[in-house]
Structure 1
């Protein structure tokens, strides 16, 4: 796929920010103001599961677009929303808080390049259902982006139990990783240092949350250097991560706000591949 100027690829995260500030991808970010800033907080324990988790996401609205970045629950300062509302994107791209910078970049890129076929996106409809049913449907759409034979081992960064189920259903082994460590629903140890585990894995399945905690670049570089598949599942930075297709990122399952866990109705995901849609088994059809 040949990228137009509006969907030009970046080689590093910092370069992407520089392209935005230089007005190479759209209008001057200093002229684009955030109208609404909000957080979404969630606690969940799916029916039939023994463990639960919490999420908190910062979202910024620019015109008709919403950009988002997950944060560790309770870590976002109270004044962050006030600092974002009415501020221009150019200023927020220099904000001291990384999640604010990521959410602002995501909002800008969502505004200038929404998830459409012209941008390389292929839409997947999520059916309505319970929280667990929708979680499993989302996981299926993500796992399908991996082109691996049974027995291969996947580094999973950002533990989602439904994703681990989806990998097992395909006969794939995995190494679960999360900065907080702990154990999975099935008592498996969760590693805290993803990069240290990456060497023994054949592919990487990584949450967009790595943008917000500063670990994305090292994983992208590892995948690029070792020519491994890197599939991103992205509520954080859903419009940011497709910019790295072919630069270490092989595929993205982008899920902009509103997220699947907010209600029981139907939902939408957008899948991207570095080599274009429909060219690998198990992909978009």
Structure 2
């Protein structure tokens, strides 16, 4: 786990957020998704582990097929404090996310809460992506390292004349046939746009440290750790577009994004 996330856990255990850490997980579940938007030539799969504490649901994306039912069942009834030490990183992230979501509801703490109206999966994906890219503040001609390739994000970057370097552990190619690297090389980039999934796969700290060393903005789009990452603004994270469960791709009706920005 990232050093700054470990520090956040220490703050939680020290009572900084008020909510007792002996609150138990009442519900655990996984969500498995496969999608190929209309007019798009490629599709993808997602799997998410979610844990509920009180009224809040915390989530962490995982590689498909890596979380079994027994792991989820073993989390039920456990106090969140115990799960902060769980051997599986995804469980630790989801438990911390649920705790912080309960302690700091997005509706009360975000800088703005943005409604995404009803629409097809592609329509909602593009609207969401536009609100994420807005947080970058990038201008035409700049280059962004995109970690966790989402074609709708690349669409908006292209449309705004912003260059990008796509990076994803899965590799492959973008919708426009561009090769996707699995090396998050920041050389020549003016900003980083990264998925919250980096919290769950252990790569977040490397990105955060690189952003600090290069003095470039680090903007996170977060379904994973949507309540964790806003607490890290100021440690190298400059903005977060937080999207708690249920995610936009689960429902054709209205959904909400919560955006946070570093104070200037």
Tell me, in whole angstroms, the C-alpha distance in 2 between the residues paired with 1:11 and 1:160.
Answer: 27
Instruction: Give the distance between the partners of 1:177 and 1:41, measured in 2 at CA.
Output: 23
Structure 2: distance between partners of 1:139 and 1:223: 22
1:27 aligns with 19
Among candidates 70, 79, 100, match of residue 109 of structure 1: 100
TM-score by length of 2: 0.97
Q: Which runs of 5+ in 1 are unaligned?
A: 1-9, 277-285
TM-score of the aligned structures, taking structure 1 as reference length:
0.90
The count of residues paired between Structure 1 and Structure 2 equals 263
CA distance in 1, matches of 2:78, 2:256: 29
Aligned 8 A contact 1:153 1:202 in 2? yes
TM-aligned CA deviation for residue 23 of structure 1: 2.1
Secondary structure (helix, strand or coil) at the match of 1:146 reads coil
Which whole-Å CA distance do the structure 2 matches of 1:27 and 1:242 have between them?
Answer: 17
1:146 aligns with 2:136: yes
Do the aligned partners of 1:115 and 1:121 also contact (CA within 8 Å) in 2? no
CA-to-aligned-CA distance 1:68-117 (integer Å, 9 cap, x gap): 00001101133111111111101111101000000000000000001034
1:173-213, Cα deviation, whole Å (9 max, x unpaired): 0000001111111111101021xx11221100000000000
Q: Which runs of 4+ in 1 moved over 6 A?
A: none
Aligned-residue RMSD, C-alpha: 1.3
Partner of residue 13 from structure 1, selected from 5, 16, 19: 5
Distance in 1 (alpha carbons) for counterparts of 2:20 and 2:121: 40
Please list every run of 5 or more consecutive structure 2 residues that lacks an aligned counterpart in the other structure.
Answer: none
| 1:11–1:244 CA contact under 8 A, matched in 2 | no
1:203·1:229 contact (CA, 8 Å) conserved in 2? Answer: yes
2:242 aligned to which of 248, 254, 269: 254
